[in-house]
Amino acid sequence: MQIGLIGCGNMARALARGWARPVLCADPLAERAKALAQETGGEALSSNAEVAKRADVVVLCHKPAQLRGVAEEVAPHAKAVASILAATPLPALKAAYPDRPVYRFMPSLPVEVRQGALVQAADAPQVAEVDKAVHELFAELGTLVTLPDAQVDVAMGLMSCGPAYVALVAEAQVDAGVRHGIAAAQAAALVTQTLAGTAELLRRRDYDTLAVRREVASPGGLTARGLDALEQGGLRGAFSDAMDAVLRPAP
Ligand SMILES: NC(=O)c1ccc[n+]([C@@H]2O[C@H](COP(=O)([O-])OP(=O)(O)OC[C@H]3O[C@@H](n4cnc5c(N)ncnc54)[C@H](OP(=O)(O)O)[C@@H]3O)[C@@H](O)[C@H]2O)c1
């Protein structure tokens, strides 16, 4: 299945690296498209319409505000369309791209290393073989969960924003280690492995976060003190506020 990318920014690059196959692509900055095409062994084309003509599936990797403008160029030619646009539900996508299979996905940056969390918006069947091929294409990139369209933006607040949150948490931990004398590189190696190891542990234990916390935090012990400090510092409230901020309509 020939992939065509509309827009060659951060997420297009992460997807292309994850797929690790030649892509067709276009971007207002020709150099950006050329660089991505070169990296994948694919081809940078001079317009979105050219990409749409030659791709089996067009992946919309531009910003949500550009939906209408891009659709004017792409819709007349596209065989199938997969969107990763935030805050752009299926009905809006189908209005912009009538009469062809349209899919809504939400990726996350670790698709680049095929360890992404991805969401697909549930929909009625369209063209069976295209439905299957597009689903499998995105499923290559990590863990793909299907959710009702109305929940995709909430999921985005968890997993698409998540890598930035996790990076911030890691940075804060590394800084705390550095403040107490550990070299930054060593602190970063320890914190990163802790994140990866804990993720694997949680996966194997059915995501039972409480059990993992209890096994680390003995009663009256040091970790219990650390957890209390995090709670006092408003960690839970901060994540809840972050979700509200993500879902708040843009001013
Ligand atoms: N980054 C993430 O982690 C993430 C996660 C999930 C979903 N998404 C979604 O992915 C999309 C891209 O996000 P991003 O972070 O990759 O943004 P980005 O780095 O700004 O990439 C967007 C690219 O689209 C280009 N573009 C602008 N107008 C275009 C047009 N008319 N035709 C073709 N390309 C055009 C931009 O060029 P200019 O810069 O020159 O305008 C830019 O290169 C967004 O819709 C976002 O909601 C992102």
- Which pLDDT does position 36 carry in this prediction? 98
Give yes or no: residues 110 and 228 share one domain.
Answer: no
Write the CATH number for 204. Answer: 1.10.3730.10
Radius of gyration of the chain (CA): 21
122 in a structural domain: yes
DSSP per-residue letters across the chain:
--EEEE--SHHHHHHHHHHTS--EEE-SSHHHHHHHHHHHT-EE-S-HHHHHHH-SEEEE-S-GGGHHHHHHHHTTT-S-EEE--TT--HHHHHHHSTTS-EEEEE--GGGGGT-EEEEEE-----SHHHHHHHHHHHHTTEEEEEE-GGGHHHHIIIIISHHHHHHHHHHHHHHHHHHTT--HHHHHHHHHHHHHHHHHHHHHTTT-HHHHHHHHS-TTSHHHHHHHHHHHTTHHHHHHHHHHHHHSPP-
- pLDDT tens-place string over residues 207-224: 999 999 999 999 999 999
Q: Tell me, in angstroms, the distance from the centre of ligand 1 to residue 169's CA.
A: 25
User: Residue 76 phi/psi, 5° resolution?
Assistant: -60, -20
Residue 188 has pLDDT above 80, yes or no: yes
The Cα 16–Cα 7 span in angstroms is: 12
Residue of 5, 11, 50, 93 best suited for mutating to test ligand 1, as the one with most atoms within 8 Å of CB: 11
Q: What is the CATH number of the domain that holds 90?
A: 3.40.50.720
Say how many Å lie between the CA of residue 85 and the centre of ligand 1.
8
Q: Please check whether residues 111 and 44 belong to one and the same domain.
A: yes
* Number of domains into which the chain is organized: 2
Average pLDDT, the chain: 97
Does residue 42 register a pLDDT over 80?
yes
Q: How far is the CA of 36 from the centre of ligand 1 (A)?
A: 14
Q: Which of 147, 180, 203 is the last residue of a domain?
A: 147
Tokens 């992939």 -> residue: 3
The pair of three-digit structure tokens given for residue 131, joined into one six-digit string:
């439905």
**75-112 pLDDT per residue, tens:** 999 999 999 999 999 999 999 999 899 999 999 999 99
Going by alpha carbons, the residue nearest to atom 28 of ligand 1 is 62
Please give the span between the terminal C-alpha atoms of the chain, in angstroms, as a whole number.
39
Given this model, what pLDDT does residue 251 score?
77
Q: Does pLDDT of 113 surpass 80?
A: yes
48 lines ligand 1 (CB under 6 A): yes
Atom of ligand 1 nearest to the CA of 107: 6
Domain region containing 61: 3-147
Please report whether residue 156 resides in a domain. Answer: no
Residue 46 pLDDT level (bands cut at 50, 70, 90): very high
| Average of per-residue pLDDT across 30-51 | 98
> Which pLDDT score, from 0 to 100, does residue 249 have?
86
Tell me the per-residue pLDDT of 136-181, one tens digit each, with 9 for 90 and over: 999 999 999 999 999 999 999 999 999 999 999 999 999 999 999 9
Does the pTM exceed 0.85? yes
Distance 5 CA to ligand 1 centre (A): 10
- Which pair of tokens denotes residue 13? 């690059």
